[in-house]
Amino acid sequence: MTSQNVQGATDGTAGNGGGICAGRVAVVTGAGRGLGRAHARALAAEGARVVVNDLGVGLDGAGGSAGPAQEVVDEIVAAGGEAVAHGGDIATTDGAASLVTAALDAFGRLDILVNNAGFLRDKMLVNLDEESWDAVMRVHLKGHFLALKHAGAHWRAEAKAGRMPQARVINTSSGAGLLGSVGQGNYTAAKAGILGLTLVAAAELGRYGVQVNAIAPAARTRMTETVFADAMAASGDGGFDAMAPENVSPLVVWLASGASGGVSGRVFEAEAGRITVMEGWRPGPGADKGARWTPAEAGEAALRLLAAAEPPQPVYGAQ
């Protein structure tokens, strides 16, 4: 379901005026709450017109309501911006395709895709049922893929028609996708898959004027409120809230803007006032016998190499 009733300013205020995303159109999935809401508001504050996608489901993906997406639209409009609500399921072909249609129908273009939608079904592996595995994979990994596929197809068509885009995709992974997280096998696998998808998409879509990056945010949202329940930041006289979702959004806005030209296929951690460029799998110590190893020789070589290698970072929640 797509709302074609564009709401907001038409007089050169936040939606059309200044800011590093002025004149650009953004789609943000899962934008009714938490990080997505913060991103949508921050993009609008920097001049973007925004399609606010959200199904309004519960933390486990159950239920649904148009309320959260419309509330964010109302907040953007109240601040002088332009936005439209979108209630399509981005983990379906029709729902993901309608994201592009919503942007084109409402604003005449699409420049930015922020993939953010997701929910949790946490259990230890031996207790994790197949339905919970499939549900989390569907919303996180399939949802990223389908939205990226349809936006990418639009931008490819634009490039082939001689209208080279300056498009940006920001995918959402997590520390679980980078390091693993005990009790979150499904979520970890989905978020790790998003990192691989980001690298492939950046390589494939670059020729069409599309940059694709990923963030691994840490912030207080519905999915992390128990983890960060006691985390208060309080650095500085201003009472800085280190876990506020709004701390992550400035990096997203910059990545979504023309100012980030040349940055693609990268992964950033963002938490509080810290931004870190993550460096993924790359060759460490190696050995080449020049012939086939015996099992004993392979084991001896592996132990020598492990002794020379950097130790891995611990999995979240590991004892």
pLDDT digits (tens, 9 = 90+) for 68-118: 999 999 999 999 999 999 999 999 999 999 999 999 999 999 999 999 999
Rounded-to-integer distance, Cα 247 and Cα 276, Å: 14
C-alpha pair distances (Å), 230 with each of 80, 93, 225, 243? 35, 40, 9, 10
Strands (E) across the chain are located at 7-8, 25-28, 49-53, 82-86, 112-114, 167-172, 210-218, 267-271, 274-278
Q: 195, 267 in Cβ contact below 8 A? A: yes
- Ranges of residues in the chain whose predicted pLDDT is under 70: 1-17, 57-66, 221-238
pLDDT score of 18: 87
Instruction: Please provide the CATH number assigned to the domain covering 7-278.
Output: 3.40.50.720
pLDDT score of 58: 53
Half-sphere CA count of 152, side-chain side, radius 13 A: 21
What's the first-to-final CA gap in the chain, in angstroms?
Answer: 46
Q: Catalytic amino acids?
A: 174, 187, 191
Rounded-to-integer distance, Cα 82 and Cα 5, Å: 11
pLDDT score of 61: 45
Rounded-to-integer distance, Cα 136 and Cα 192, Å: 13
